[in-house]
Structure 1
Amino acid sequence: MRIFLTGANGFIGGAVASTLVADGHAVRGLVRDKTKADAVAAHGVDPVIGSLDDAALLQAEARASDGVVNAASSGHRGAVEALIAGLACSGKPFIHTSGSSIVADKAMGEPSDRIFHEDTPIEPEPERVARVAIDRLVLGAPGIRSVVLCNAMIYGNAMGAPAQSVQIPVLARQARESGVARYIGRGLNRWSNVHIADVAALYALAIAKAPARSFMYVESGEEALGEVAQAIATRLDLGAAQSWSAEQAIAAWGREKATFSLGSNSRVRGKAATERLGWAPQHRSIKDWIAQELGRGLNDP
């Protein structure tokens, strides 16, 4: 297939592009400049220089493709609208990247028993309402094989992707710079998680055979953020991880990241990927990966 992919030099997009190329697809990847174009070209991607604000370009690329993967900003509604317009009533696949922070709370280190399955109604915090609306826009697009992949916390090293994931590098960098690994509050908040290689494999399966209007959580494990911080501390030989107050965490990481990425609960369970697509994740433990692989390869924080 001829696939147009946004975010081709990003963490998710780079991994997905490499997997699709390895599977024999022809991938055209959106990048911002010549330097990034050269980088993705080295991995077999035909670069398209532009931005998510270039609606005409996105429509044209979508129209000329056999399918689209949006692996750039999950919150850029204008880009999504342009891609949908280019694919409208074509029957082609459109894989949109979402994230499980859409179900995150504001627990700041406290636990939650609430677990979201794919049929659980979502009532997002006000800061996530717009993202949920974009997911619903994709799923309701007429005449498109629309799929929303809602990724949990992603970890791992992505060959072909110079970018990094979100939570683990932030925690590891802070720990290295200060000499103390930190979690927020009691560190009992939990996030589902998934390895980037398993994420990329699922995108390839979704392009090939996901049914229209599919919403799938992408997860293969779960861990408390306090345990993640301790695993980082152990890996870096820093002793015991220690708590930060909400105020300290916000001052260091910013309100958005502290609240929704590191202090919240985001507990999801996804059956659709395994039952409908035969997805079989190869990685099940984020703590094992931290113990064995943190600090190696392109995702070195």
Structure 2
Amino acid sequence: MRIFLTGASGFIGGSVAVHLIAAGHDVRGLVRSPERADAVAGCGIEPVLGTLDDAELLAGEAARADAVINAASADHRNGAETILDALAGSGKTFLHTSGSSIVGRRDAGGRSDAVFDEETPIDPSPARAARVALNRDILASAARNIRALIIAPSLIYGRGLGVNPDSMQVPWLIEVARRTGGARHIGAGANVWSNVHVMDLVELYRLALENAPSGAFYYAENGEASMKEVCAAISRMLGQGGSTHQMSVDEAAGYWGEGPANDTMGSNSRVRARRARTELGWTPASPDLIHEIEQGCYAAGR
């Protein structure tokens, strides 16, 4: 396929693009600067200079492509709507990247027992209401003869394939542990996130692109861990003895910002990728998160 992909220099977008190129697809990738254009070109991606606000450019690229993958922003409604309008009536694919934080609440490091699969209704927090509404509207565009698909990754770990090889949550926690001399989580760290290795995630994108039915929504996960368990693994990996320390939401916001502290690092996001496994035959096979921290790419980079 001829694919137009946004976020080509990002962790998810770059990794997906390189994986799809290896599978025989051609990828044109949106980037925001000439420097990033040069970088993605070195990965085999044909760069397109622009942003999600460049409506004419997005529409033209969507019209020329066989499929569009949005990996630049889960929340940019104008960009998504521009692409959908350009694809209306074509039967072409629009694969949008959301995220499993749509099920989360501001739990300040406390545990939740709520677990979601693709059929579980979501009552989103105010911070994620707009994202859930955008997801709904994207899937509804299937009625306009668009093959609309959504993948919602959970916590992503592992080394990426593109110009930006690092994810967010685990590197953030490692950085704080290094800076402060101890691994730190919000509150008790009992909050649980499902997780997925980046190499398993990019294979899910390929399977969805090639085989998913229109209107499909997929979570991406292969296990879960509490933030305290993740921090304990980081502590062991860094030679800090496995001990962890609590911090307040306000303290965490000083490291990562108020939104990420509340809606990502202190929340629960427990999902099950049942549909991907049963419908697409997705079979994650990468090392689990704790192993990757203690013996994999994070340990190798310490």
Q: How does 1:95-134 map to 2 (within 5 A)?
A: 95-134=95-134
Note the alpha carbon deviations across 1:217-238, whole angstroms, 9 max, x for none.
Answer: 1111100000001111110112
Q: How does 1:138-157 map to 2 (within 5 A)?
A: 138-141=138-141, 142-157=144-159
Asked if 1:18 corresponds to 2:21, the answer is no
TM-score, structure 2 as length reference: 0.96
Note the alpha carbon deviations across 1:196-243, whole angstroms, 9 max, x for none.
Answer: 111111111111011000011111110000000111111011231111
- Check conservation: 1:185, 1:246, Cα contact below 8 A: yes
Residues 285 and 295 of structure 1: CA distance in aligned 2, closer, same or farther (over 3 Å): closer
Alignment partner, residue 263 of structure 1: 266
Note the alpha carbon deviations across 1:268-301, whole angstroms, 9 max, x for none.
Answer: 011111111111111252101101124368xx68
1:278 to 277, 281, 287: 281
Question: Any unmatched runs of 5+ in structure 2?
Answer: none
Q: How does 1:1-301 map to 2 (within 5 A)?
A: 1-141=1-141, 142-239=144-241, 240-283=243-286, 285-295=288-298
Note the alpha carbon deviations across 1:237-275, whole angstroms, 9 max, x for none.
Answer: 123111112332233332111111111110001111111
- Cα distance between partner residues in 2 of 1:25 and 1:78: 27
- Cα distance between partner residues in 2 of 1:28 and 1:253: 32
- Cα distance between partner residues in 2 of 1:163 and 1:123: 33
Aligned partner of 2:193: which letter?
A: W
- Cα distance between partner residues in 2 of 1:173 and 1:2: 38
Aligned partner of 2:50: which letter?
A: G
TM-score, structure 1 as length reference: 0.96
Percent identity for Structure 1 against Structure 2:
48
Match of 2:13, SS state, is helix
- Cα distance between partner residues in 2 of 1:159 and 1:53: 26
- Check conservation: 2:234, 2:294, Cα contact below 8 A: yes
Residues 284 and 103 of structure 1: CA distance in aligned 2, closer, same or farther (over 3 Å): farther
Q: After the TM superposition, which of the residue ranges 154-163 and 195-204 deviates more from structure 2?
A: 154-163
- Cα distance between partner residues in 1 of 2:102 and 2:239: 34
Tell me the number of residue pairs that the alignment of Structure 1 and Structure 2 aligns.
299
- Check conservation: 2:159, 2:165, Cα contact below 8 A: no
Match of 1:154, SS state, is strand
Question: Any unmatched runs of 5+ in structure 1?
Answer: none
- Check conservation: 1:41, 1:47, Cα contact below 8 A: yes
Aligned partner of 1:268: which letter?
A: V
- Check conservation: 1:115, 1:268, Cα contact below 8 A: yes
Note the alpha carbon deviations across 1:11-62, whole angstroms, 9 max, x for none.
Answer: 0000000011001111000011111111111111111000110011101100
- Cα distance between partner residues in 2 of 1:252 and 1:15: 26
- Check conservation: 2:207, 2:280, Cα contact below 8 A: yes
Aligned partner of 1:135: which letter?
A: N
Aligned partner of 1:177: which letter?
A: R
Aligned partner of 2:75: which letter?
A: G
Aligned partner of 1:266: which letter?
A: S
Aligned partner of 1:69: which letter?
A: I
